[in-house]
Amino acid sequence: MGRLRVAVLGAGTIARAIHLPILRRLEGVEVVGVADPRPAGRAVAASLGLPAFDDLERCLEATAPDCAFVLTPKETHAELAGRCLARGLDVFCEKPLALRLDEAEAAVTAAEQAGRLLMVGFNRRFAPVYERARAAFAERRLDVCLAVKNRPGTEYRASLENAIHMVDLLRWFCGEASAVSAEAQHAGDPFRETSLVATIRFASGALGCLVANRSTSHWVERLECYGSGWSAVVGCPDWVRIGHDGVEELTEMTAQAMGWAAVEDKMGFRQEVEHFVACVRARREPRTSGRAVLGTHRLMHELLVAAGLPGLAG
Protein backbone atom coordinates (compact mmCIF):
# COMPACT_ATOMS: atom_id res chain seq x y z
CA MET A 1 0.00 0.00 0.00
CA GLY A 2 1.24 3.49 -0.87
CA ARG A 3 0.07 6.61 0.93
CA LEU A 4 -2.87 5.96 3.22
CA ARG A 5 -5.69 8.35 2.38
CA VAL A 6 -7.70 9.36 5.46
CA ALA A 7 -11.03 11.16 5.74
CA VAL A 8 -11.79 12.77 9.10
CA LEU A 9 -15.43 13.07 10.13
CA GLY A 10 -15.92 15.78 12.71
CA ALA A 11 -13.58 18.66 13.54
CA GLY A 12 -14.40 19.19 17.20
CA THR A 13 -12.05 19.30 20.17
CA ILE A 14 -10.70 15.75 19.92
CA ALA A 15 -10.00 16.16 16.20
CA ARG A 16 -8.39 19.59 16.56
CA ALA A 17 -6.28 18.82 19.62
CA ILE A 18 -5.35 15.19 19.02
CA HIS A 19 -6.16 13.29 15.84
CA LEU A 20 -5.57 15.84 13.12
CA PRO A 21 -2.12 16.87 14.43
CA ILE A 22 -1.09 13.22 14.83
CA LEU A 23 -2.38 12.15 11.40
CA ARG A 24 -0.73 15.09 9.64
CA ARG A 25 2.66 14.15 11.13
CA LEU A 26 2.54 10.46 10.26
CA GLU A 27 4.75 9.40 7.38
CA GLY A 28 2.84 7.85 4.51
CA VAL A 29 -0.52 9.21 5.70
CA GLU A 30 -2.51 11.95 3.96
CA VAL A 31 -5.62 13.61 5.37
CA VAL A 32 -7.59 14.09 2.14
CA GLY A 33 -10.71 15.71 3.58
CA VAL A 34 -12.65 16.75 6.65
CA ALA A 35 -16.44 16.48 6.84
CA ASP A 36 -18.36 18.56 9.38
CA PRO A 37 -21.84 20.08 9.03
CA ARG A 38 -20.87 22.98 11.30
CA PRO A 39 -19.25 26.07 9.80
CA ALA A 40 -16.85 26.19 12.76
CA GLY A 41 -15.68 22.65 11.99
CA ARG A 42 -15.11 23.43 8.33
CA ALA A 43 -13.22 26.56 9.35
CA VAL A 44 -10.82 24.38 11.36
CA ALA A 45 -10.14 22.26 8.27
CA ALA A 46 -9.67 25.31 6.09
CA SER A 47 -7.23 26.82 8.58
CA LEU A 48 -5.10 23.70 8.18
CA GLY A 49 -5.27 23.81 4.40
CA LEU A 50 -7.45 20.69 4.27
CA PRO A 51 -10.45 20.22 1.95
CA ALA A 52 -13.63 20.78 3.96
CA PHE A 53 -17.09 19.36 3.28
CA ASP A 54 -20.47 19.84 4.93
CA ASP A 55 -21.64 16.35 4.00
CA LEU A 56 -20.15 12.90 4.52
CA GLU A 57 -21.13 11.52 1.13
CA ARG A 58 -19.68 14.51 -0.73
CA CYS A 59 -16.47 14.16 1.23
CA LEU A 60 -16.11 10.46 0.43
CA GLU A 61 -17.04 10.91 -3.23
CA ALA A 62 -14.57 13.73 -3.73
CA THR A 63 -11.61 12.32 -1.78
CA ALA A 64 -11.77 8.53 -2.31
CA PRO A 65 -10.19 7.70 1.08
CA ASP A 66 -8.87 4.33 2.23
CA CYS A 67 -10.16 4.79 5.78
CA ALA A 68 -12.15 7.16 7.94
CA PHE A 69 -11.83 8.55 11.46
CA VAL A 70 -15.25 9.05 13.06
CA LEU A 71 -14.69 11.83 15.62
CA THR A 72 -18.23 13.21 15.78
CA PRO A 73 -20.58 13.41 18.81
CA LYS A 74 -21.22 9.98 20.32
CA GLU A 75 -24.85 9.76 19.24
CA THR A 76 -23.71 9.77 15.57
CA HIS A 77 -20.94 7.16 15.81
CA ALA A 78 -22.87 4.03 14.84
CA GLU A 79 -24.57 5.57 11.81
CA LEU A 80 -21.45 7.19 10.38
CA ALA A 81 -19.24 4.17 11.03
CA GLY A 82 -21.82 1.99 9.29
CA ARG A 83 -21.99 4.27 6.26
CA CYS A 84 -18.21 4.25 5.92
CA LEU A 85 -18.01 0.48 6.29
CA ALA A 86 -20.71 0.11 3.62
CA ARG A 87 -18.42 2.04 1.28
CA GLY A 88 -15.60 -0.43 1.91
CA LEU A 89 -13.55 1.77 4.23
CA ASP A 90 -11.62 0.76 7.32
CA VAL A 91 -12.90 2.78 10.27
CA PHE A 92 -11.45 4.24 13.45
CA CYS A 93 -14.36 5.32 15.66
CA GLU A 94 -14.13 7.27 18.89
CA LYS A 95 -15.75 5.63 21.89
CA PRO A 96 -18.48 4.67 22.50
CA LEU A 97 -19.12 2.76 19.30
CA ALA A 98 -22.86 3.28 19.77
CA LEU A 99 -25.47 4.30 22.32
CA ARG A 100 -27.39 1.07 21.75
CA LEU A 101 -26.10 -2.48 21.93
CA ASP A 102 -27.88 -3.57 18.76
CA GLU A 103 -26.25 -0.72 16.83
CA ALA A 104 -22.80 -1.61 18.19
CA GLU A 105 -23.31 -5.26 17.27
CA ALA A 106 -24.56 -4.29 13.79
CA ALA A 107 -21.44 -2.18 13.18
CA VAL A 108 -19.16 -5.04 14.21
CA THR A 109 -21.08 -7.48 11.98
CA ALA A 110 -20.95 -5.04 9.07
CA ALA A 111 -17.18 -4.69 9.39
CA GLU A 112 -16.65 -8.44 9.53
CA GLN A 113 -18.95 -9.15 6.60
CA ALA A 114 -17.24 -6.46 4.52
CA GLY A 115 -13.75 -7.65 5.50
CA ARG A 116 -12.90 -4.19 6.83
CA LEU A 117 -11.22 -3.13 10.07
CA LEU A 118 -13.19 -1.39 12.81
CA MET A 119 -11.24 0.03 15.74
CA VAL A 120 -12.75 1.89 18.72
CA GLY A 121 -10.84 4.67 20.48
CA PHE A 122 -10.18 3.25 23.93
CA ASN A 123 -6.85 5.04 24.10
CA ARG A 124 -6.12 4.08 27.72
CA ARG A 125 -5.12 0.60 26.56
CA PHE A 126 -2.21 2.32 24.79
CA ALA A 127 -1.20 4.72 27.59
CA PRO A 128 2.28 3.78 28.92
CA VAL A 129 1.28 3.95 32.60
CA TYR A 130 -1.58 1.49 32.08
CA GLU A 131 0.50 -0.80 29.87
CA ARG A 132 3.14 -0.92 32.62
CA ALA A 133 0.55 -1.74 35.29
CA ARG A 134 -1.03 -4.49 33.22
CA ALA A 135 2.36 -6.02 32.44
CA ALA A 136 2.98 -6.37 36.20
CA PHE A 137 0.01 -8.74 36.42
CA ALA A 138 0.42 -10.50 33.08
CA GLU A 139 1.53 -13.73 34.79
CA ARG A 140 0.10 -13.07 38.24
CA ARG A 141 -3.32 -13.40 39.83
CA LEU A 142 -5.11 -10.07 40.19
CA ASP A 143 -7.49 -10.04 43.17
CA VAL A 144 -8.79 -6.47 43.39
CA CYS A 145 -8.92 -3.60 40.91
CA LEU A 146 -10.22 -0.12 41.79
CA ALA A 147 -10.93 2.33 38.95
CA VAL A 148 -11.70 6.01 39.62
CA LYS A 149 -12.67 8.55 36.95
CA ASN A 150 -13.94 11.97 38.06
CA ARG A 151 -14.51 15.03 35.90
CA PRO A 152 -16.42 18.26 36.59
CA GLY A 153 -19.71 18.82 34.82
CA THR A 154 -22.22 16.21 33.81
CA GLU A 155 -23.59 15.80 30.27
CA TYR A 156 -25.87 13.58 28.22
CA ARG A 157 -24.94 9.93 28.88
CA ALA A 158 -22.00 11.07 31.00
CA SER A 159 -20.86 7.55 31.89
CA LEU A 160 -20.50 6.69 28.19
CA GLU A 161 -18.24 9.70 27.76
CA ASN A 162 -16.14 9.28 30.87
CA ALA A 163 -16.57 6.15 33.00
CA ILE A 164 -16.56 3.83 29.98
CA HIS A 165 -12.77 4.22 29.75
CA MET A 166 -12.41 2.69 33.21
CA VAL A 167 -14.96 -0.04 32.48
CA ASP A 168 -12.85 -0.99 29.47
CA LEU A 169 -9.68 -1.00 31.60
CA LEU A 170 -11.36 -3.21 34.19
CA ARG A 171 -12.18 -5.72 31.43
CA TRP A 172 -8.65 -5.45 30.00
CA PHE A 173 -7.11 -6.15 33.40
CA CYS A 174 -9.63 -8.61 34.87
CA GLY A 175 -11.45 -10.33 31.99
CA GLU A 176 -15.19 -10.78 31.60
CA ALA A 177 -17.68 -9.95 34.34
CA SER A 178 -19.90 -12.57 35.97
CA ALA A 179 -21.91 -10.37 38.37
CA VAL A 180 -22.48 -6.65 38.86
CA SER A 181 -24.15 -4.28 41.30
CA ALA A 182 -24.30 -0.50 41.05
CA GLU A 183 -25.80 2.72 42.38
CA ALA A 184 -26.14 6.11 40.71
CA GLN A 185 -26.97 9.72 41.48
CA HIS A 186 -28.55 12.35 39.24
CA ALA A 187 -30.39 15.65 39.66
CA GLY A 188 -33.66 14.48 38.18
CA ASP A 189 -32.52 13.49 34.69
CA PRO A 190 -31.35 9.84 34.53
CA PHE A 191 -29.65 10.55 31.20
CA ARG A 192 -27.34 13.04 32.94
CA GLU A 193 -25.99 11.15 35.92
CA THR A 194 -23.56 12.78 38.34
CA SER A 195 -22.27 9.60 39.99
CA LEU A 196 -21.97 5.91 39.18
CA VAL A 197 -20.47 3.52 41.73
CA ALA A 198 -20.28 -0.20 40.96
CA THR A 199 -18.82 -3.47 42.16
CA ILE A 200 -18.04 -6.22 39.70
CA ARG A 201 -17.10 -9.87 40.13
CA PHE A 202 -15.10 -11.25 37.22
CA ALA A 203 -14.99 -14.82 35.96
CA SER A 204 -11.25 -14.78 36.75
CA GLY A 205 -12.09 -14.41 40.45
CA ALA A 206 -11.01 -10.77 40.59
CA LEU A 207 -13.18 -8.12 42.22
CA GLY A 208 -13.53 -4.70 40.61
CA CYS A 209 -14.82 -1.39 41.89
CA LEU A 210 -15.75 1.60 39.74
CA VAL A 211 -16.15 5.14 41.06
CA ALA A 212 -17.19 7.79 38.52
CA ASN A 213 -18.28 11.27 39.54
CA ARG A 214 -19.26 14.46 37.70
CA SER A 215 -19.73 16.80 40.69
CA THR A 216 -16.04 16.89 41.59
CA SER A 217 -13.75 19.94 41.74
CA HIS A 218 -11.29 18.69 39.14
CA TRP A 219 -10.27 15.86 36.80
CA VAL A 220 -9.02 12.70 38.55
CA GLU A 221 -8.16 9.34 36.97
CA ARG A 222 -6.67 6.53 39.02
CA LEU A 223 -6.36 2.74 38.88
CA GLU A 224 -5.23 0.48 41.73
CA CYS A 225 -4.47 -3.24 41.32
CA TYR A 226 -3.61 -5.73 44.07
CA GLY A 227 -2.84 -9.46 44.18
CA SER A 228 -0.14 -12.13 44.44
CA GLY A 229 1.90 -9.94 46.76
CA TRP A 230 2.09 -7.24 44.08
CA SER A 231 0.49 -3.83 43.61
CA ALA A 232 0.20 -1.41 40.72
CA VAL A 233 -1.15 2.08 41.32
CA VAL A 234 -1.63 4.44 38.38
CA GLY A 235 -2.05 8.19 38.59
CA CYS A 236 -3.02 8.77 34.99
CA PRO A 237 -1.44 10.07 32.90
CA ASP A 238 1.74 10.88 34.78
CA TRP A 239 2.98 7.97 36.89
CA VAL A 240 2.67 4.33 37.91
CA ARG A 241 3.97 2.69 41.09
CA ILE A 242 4.73 -1.05 41.01
CA GLY A 243 5.23 -2.70 44.40
CA HIS A 244 6.43 -6.19 45.45
CA ASP A 245 8.53 -7.71 48.22
CA GLY A 246 8.36 -4.52 50.25
CA VAL A 247 9.83 -2.42 47.45
CA GLU A 248 8.03 0.12 45.25
CA GLU A 249 9.25 1.29 41.84
CA LEU A 250 8.03 4.62 40.47
CA THR A 251 7.85 5.25 36.72
CA GLU A 252 7.07 8.80 35.64
CA MET A 253 6.18 10.15 32.23
CA THR A 254 8.87 12.81 32.24
CA ALA A 255 11.01 14.49 29.61
CA GLN A 256 10.34 12.69 26.34
CA ALA A 257 10.38 15.46 23.78
CA MET A 258 12.28 18.70 24.33
CA GLY A 259 11.71 18.62 28.08
CA TRP A 260 8.12 17.44 28.42
CA ALA A 261 5.90 14.46 27.79
CA ALA A 262 3.06 15.38 25.44
CA VAL A 263 -0.52 14.57 26.39
CA GLU A 264 -0.98 12.61 23.16
CA ASP A 265 1.89 10.32 24.22
CA LYS A 266 0.99 10.04 27.90
CA MET A 267 -2.67 9.25 27.22
CA GLY A 268 -1.97 6.79 24.41
CA PHE A 269 -3.57 8.82 21.60
CA ARG A 270 -0.52 8.81 19.35
CA GLN A 271 0.06 5.12 19.94
CA GLU A 272 -3.53 4.14 19.12
CA VAL A 273 -3.53 6.12 15.87
CA GLU A 274 -0.20 4.60 14.83
CA HIS A 275 -1.56 1.17 15.79
CA PHE A 276 -4.64 1.64 13.61
CA VAL A 277 -2.56 2.75 10.63
CA ALA A 278 -0.22 -0.22 11.08
CA CYS A 279 -3.18 -2.61 11.31
CA VAL A 280 -4.71 -1.18 8.12
CA ARG A 281 -1.43 -1.68 6.28
CA ALA A 282 -0.86 -5.19 7.64
CA ARG A 283 -4.56 -6.23 7.57
CA ARG A 284 -4.52 -7.41 11.18
CA GLU A 285 -7.11 -6.99 13.93
CA PRO A 286 -6.55 -3.94 16.18
CA ARG A 287 -6.13 -4.27 19.93
CA THR A 288 -9.41 -2.41 20.46
CA SER A 289 -11.34 -3.82 17.53
CA GLY A 290 -15.10 -3.52 17.51
CA ARG A 291 -15.35 -7.21 18.37
CA ALA A 292 -12.83 -6.88 21.24
CA VAL A 293 -14.71 -4.03 22.91
CA LEU A 294 -18.28 -5.21 22.43
CA GLY A 295 -17.94 -6.68 25.91
CA THR A 296 -17.17 -3.24 27.27
CA HIS A 297 -20.41 -1.86 25.85
CA ARG A 298 -22.36 -4.85 27.20
CA LEU A 299 -20.83 -4.45 30.66
CA MET A 300 -21.58 -0.72 30.55
CA HIS A 301 -25.21 -1.56 29.79
CA GLU A 302 -25.37 -3.96 32.75
CA LEU A 303 -23.89 -1.37 35.10
CA LEU A 304 -26.28 1.37 34.00
CA VAL A 305 -29.32 -0.89 34.39
CA ALA A 306 -28.12 -2.16 37.77
CA ALA A 307 -27.78 1.48 38.88
CA GLY A 308 -31.35 2.29 37.78
CA LEU A 309 -30.25 4.36 34.78
CA PRO A 310 -31.37 3.91 31.15
CA GLY A 311 -29.34 1.13 29.57
CA LEU A 312 -28.12 0.63 26.02
CA ALA A 313 -30.84 -1.74 24.89
CA GLY A 314 -32.88 -0.79 21.82
Secondary structure E strands in 3-124 = 4-9, 29-35, 52-53, 67-70, 90-94, 118-121
| Rounded mean pLDDT, 277-296 | 98
Alpha carbon 126 to chain centroid distance?
Answer: 10
User: Is 3.30.360.10 the CATH number for 125-268+295-306?
Assistant: yes
Contact present, 122 and 173 (Cβ < 8 Å): no
Q: What is the amino acid identity at position 260?
A: W
- What dihedral angle (degrees, nearest 10) is formed by the CA atoms of 308, 145, 131, 107? -30
Angle at 77 between CA 74 and CA 78, to 5 degrees: 130
What DSSP character marks residue 66?
S
The pLDDT of residue 261 is 74
pLDDT tens, position by position, 29-67: 999 999 999 999 999 999 999 999 999 999 999 999 999
The pLDDT of residue 260 is 65
pTM beyond 0.85: the answer is yes
Contact present, 186 and 192 (Cβ < 8 Å): yes
Contact present, 118 and 111 (Cβ < 8 Å): yes
CATH superfamily of 4-122+270-289: NAD(P)-binding Rossmann-like Domain (3.40.50.720)
CA distance 163 to 209: 12
The pLDDT of residue 253 is 84
Q: What DSSP line would sit under 250-312, residue for residue?
A: EEE----BTTB--HHHHTTHHHHHHHHHHHHHHT---TTBHHHHHHHHHHHHHHHHHTTS--S
pLDDT tens, position by position, 90-112: 999 999 999 999 999 999 999 99
Contact present, 20 and 81 (Cβ < 8 Å): no
pLDDT tier for residue 255 given thresholds of 50, 70 and 90: low
Q: 3-state class of 199 per DSSP?
A: strand
Q: Does residue 183 have a pLDDT over 90?
A: yes
CA distance 231 to 242: 6
Provide the residue ranges of all domains of the chain, joining segments of one domain with +: 4-122+270-289, 125-268+295-306
